[in-house]
Structure formats: C-alpha cells, structure tokens
Amino acid sequence: MIVQKDKIEELDRKKEQIIEAALKRFSHFGIPKTTMNEIAEDLSISKALLYYYFPDKISLAYEVAEFIIAEFLKQHELIFENAASCFEGLQDLISFRIAFGKKYFMLHIHDKQTDVSVHDVRAQQFICSLRENELSLITAFLEKAKQNGELKAVDSQEIAKILMDMLTGIWICEMYVNHKTLIPNDQQFHTIKTKMEKIIHVFYEGIKNNNHGTANSK
C-alpha cells in the first residue's frame, strides 16, 4: 500500500521534471520550435520515455500550461489578499500581469497561420476555464471592496468582466496591431503597462464610492 503510494509519487516527480524541462524550452523558443528530442536530451533520457509519461506533444504542452496557470492564479490570490486597497490591488495586478507576460509570452506565440487555439476545442476550453477562474478571483476581490465601502454598489462580476476585456484588449492591440513584431520588446511591455495603469485610474474613478474612501479617509 505504502509502496504503491511511493511509486505514484515518484511517477509524479518524474512527470514534474519533464514538465520543468519542457517549460524551459517552450518559454524560450515557443512550442512549435521545440522538439521532443530536445526535451529528452536536456533530461538525458530517450524520447520514447517522454511518450511513456505523456501521450503526445500537445498533452505535454497542456500540462506545462496548466502548471504555469496554477502559478498565475496563485499569484492573483496572493496579490488580492495582500492588497491595502482595491485600487492598489488592481495596480499590483497590472504589474504582475506584465511581469508574467514578459516571462512566458513565448508560449503564446503562434507560428505563421498555424495557431492551435483556433480550431482546437481543447484549447478553447482551456482558455475558457482560465478566464472563468480569473474572473471569479477578480469578482470576489471587487465584491470585498464593495462590502468594505470602497466601491459603490456595482455588479461586481459585470465590472470584472469589463476590466478583463479591457486589459486583454490593450495587450493584444499593442502587441499585434500597433507593433507587429513577433517577439515583443521591453518598450512594448512598458507601453502596455502605462496604458493599463491609466485605464485602471479612470476605471477606478468610475466604480469607487464617492461618499466613502479618499474623501473620508482623513
């Protein structure tokens, strides 16, 4: 029984090693430019062994994605927990999103017109699930601020949705419309951050409670 459990743990540890190695390659060169052979070589194992632990390349990629998404959501929670106010929480959220994007944007780069996410149901569901998770975190955060009296009586979920749409929109707009460089540079990230901060500022003015907050805080 205990032996059985140890085995499972070891299997998981091995999978984790593979995921970490794959993540390194994927986040550096992107998924299409990473071969299963390279991942295997990095770990000094045979390619066949990768297929012992993962059914195919795309499944490995998804597990890698799940791995970093877990980190992404965990950080979200932390930021919201430690936020001194709703406004500061939103600002921290932006900083984090930019830093996270810098670190992992290669995972998002699609080679030519060959983009997995278009027709793949699995990708659609994956993104959908991520969005929902993020949405509920932000909604909860806004809800808390509303109960606090920092925000006025708004529909938290509706506001959270709008907020997410705007942030994603600005990102895409800057990356894929204004400066279509396949590999984004620091300047672009900085521009996006600045724009997001400005948006958050006006946005916050629109949802904050004018009877409470800064006016009363003295």
Distances from the Cα of 131 to the Cαs of 128, 134, 167, 168, in angstroms? 5, 5, 12, 11
Answer whether 90's CB lies under 8 Å from 204's CB.
yes
Of the candidate residues 51, 62, 96, 126, the single one contacting DNA (CB under 7 A): 51
Residue 45 contacts DNA per CB under 7 A: yes
* Nearer to a copy of itself among residue 149 and residue 206 (C-beta): 206
Partner whose binding site includes residue 114, from DNA, a copy of itself, none (CB under 5 to 8 Å by kind): DNA
Answer whether 67's CB lies under 8 Å from 15's CB.
no
Q: Mask: binding to DNA, 105-134, rule CB under 7 A, as x and -?
A: ------xx-x--------------------
Partner whose binding site includes residue 215, from DNA, a copy of itself, none (CB under 5 to 8 Å by kind): none
Say how far apart CA 134 and CA 142 lie, in whole Å. 12
Partner whose binding site includes residue 36, from a copy of itself, DNA, none (CB under 5 to 8 Å by kind): DNA
Joined together, the tokens standing for residue 35 give 């071969």
Burial of 80 per CB tally in 10 Å (0-12, 13-18, 19+): buried
111 backbone dihedrals φ, ψ, rounded to 5°: -80, 115
Q: How far is the CB of 71 from DNA (least distance, A)?
A: 24
Residue 48 contacts DNA per CB under 7 A: yes
Binding footprint of DNA on the chain (CB under 7 A): 7, 10-11, 14, 32, 34-37, 44-49, 51-52, 55-58, 111-112, 114
